[in-house]
Amino acid sequence: MKNFLIACMRMCFFIVVSTQAMANSNQDSKRIDGVKVSSKIVGISMILDEVREISVGQGDFVVVGEVLLNWNDSSSTFRAGSTDSQEITLTGTRVGDYFMTEWAPEFFISNAESPREPIIRSITLSSDGKVELFEKFKATVAMDTTIPSYPFGELDLQINIEAVAHPVDELIFDIKQFSLGHTESKHEVIKGNWHQNGSNSEVTTTKSLRHGHNEFSNAKFHLIAEHDFVDVAQKIFIPLLSVIFLALVINKYCVIYETESGGDNGNWRIGGQLTLLLTLFALKFSLGAEIPQTHYLTLVDALFLSAGVLVVAALVWGIMVIYFFQAGQTTLAYKLEHNSNIVFSLLTAVLLAWTFSFALR
């Protein structure tokens, strides 16, 4: 009898808990369905006509693109007086009038450094209630320059389209198309010393301070770009590796002899290393816009640092050899001079191995 009562109590408890859970589930379903019913699905298509002035030094790029938004609104008053089959296109100030009186998905580029510059805008109203907003624009967009292996590696160039006045319970973006250029056009979309290595898009939500910290729909378009190797070689690698090579050649063949003044070759050796050091400073200055401004070292930074360490070490080594010759410590001076080639060859190997390890990061 006791076991029977315990079983009955367990059964009642289970029924109560299950009923409450089903009620909560129904309430959640109604809430979610309510959001779906009230939210307008706005299709969005993006075509990039030009991507230029990609600057890893300043962390931005210029984009010229076309965006098309489409949604359904059969209650638009702008169709009054037109036939059922007539398609209406609004341009100029009438586009602004439409935004003042009708529901429209206003947007902005959330990662732009300044307001975008509309080139042309139009709204098309179809007889079936479909509305299309077309805009061609130009904008300067900020980018993330996190690329430790620069000039190798990839840059993620993003264009983030975010809703302005309608939170996610009123507007949700749905990406329909994302492409580079028109299929019938043959011109290069990415200008300069970069090329495309893929693209993708996604829809996310972003919290904002406006509308009481509501979430807003955000359509993100990603263009993956890589640096052209030929440009990298002629601007960065060939000059820097030439400096390293010349530093080793000067150290090996401008031998310092025991003379009263330290030797004419000593003058060439010191002067040559000083010239290479000044060349490094000039090269670093001229490539300022080509190098990311980061809080960490990139491959290019490591190569500049390696070349600088080698040149300064060779310069100091040569000064010391001359000093010991002039001070009469010829044995020590000859020993340093004899071992300099081995020391700097090993130092160069270590520095280059450390530098090119950044390409694997």
Cα distance between residue 159 and residue 173, in whole Å: 14
Closest CA to 70 of 132, 128, 16: 132
Under 8 Å CB-to-CB from 119, ≥6 apart: which residues? Answer: 64, 135, 136, 137, 138
Percent above pLDDT 70 for the chain:
83
DSSP-derived 3-state class of residue 224:
strand
In CATH terms, is domain 231-360 a member of 3.40.50.10860? no
pLDDT over 90 at 128, yes or no: no
Is there a contact between 238 and 210 (Cβ–Cβ < 8 Å)? no
pLDDT band at 160, cuts 50/70/90?
A: very high
- Sequence spans of domains, the chain: 36-227, 231-360
Q: Is 231-360 in the same CATH topology as 36-227?
A: no
DSSP-derived 3-state class of residue 310:
helix
Q: What's the length of the chain? A: 361
Question: What does the pLDDT look like over 58-116, one tens digit per residue?
Answer: 889 999 999 999 998 877 666 655 555 678 888 888 888 888 888 888 999 999 999 99
End-to-end Cα, the chain, rounded Å: 72
Closest CA to 250 of 224, 278, 235, 271: 271
Give, in order, the Cα–Cα distances in Å from 141 to each of 61, 134, 216: 5, 20, 20
pLDDT band at 1, cuts 50/70/90?
A: very low
Closest CA to 46 of 173, 148, 188, 168: 173
Question: What does the pLDDT look like over 201-247, one tens digit per residue?
Answer: 999 998 887 767 789 999 999 999 888 877 777 888 889 999 999 99
Mean residue pLDDT of the chain comes to 81
CATH value of 36-227 in 3.40.50.2000, 2.70.170.10, 3.30.2040.10, 3.40.50.300: 2.70.170.10
Its pTM stands at 0.71
Is there a contact between 356 and 348 (Cβ–Cβ < 8 Å)? no
Under 8 Å CB-to-CB from 42, ≥6 apart: which residues? Answer: 69, 70, 71, 105, 171, 172, 173, 174, 217
- pLDDT for position 20: 46
Residue 47 CA, distance from chain mean position: 19
CA atoms within 13 A on the CB side of 27: 6
68 CB neighbour count, 10 Å cutoff: 16
Closest CA to 224 of 192, 248, 201: 201
- pLDDT for position 68: 95
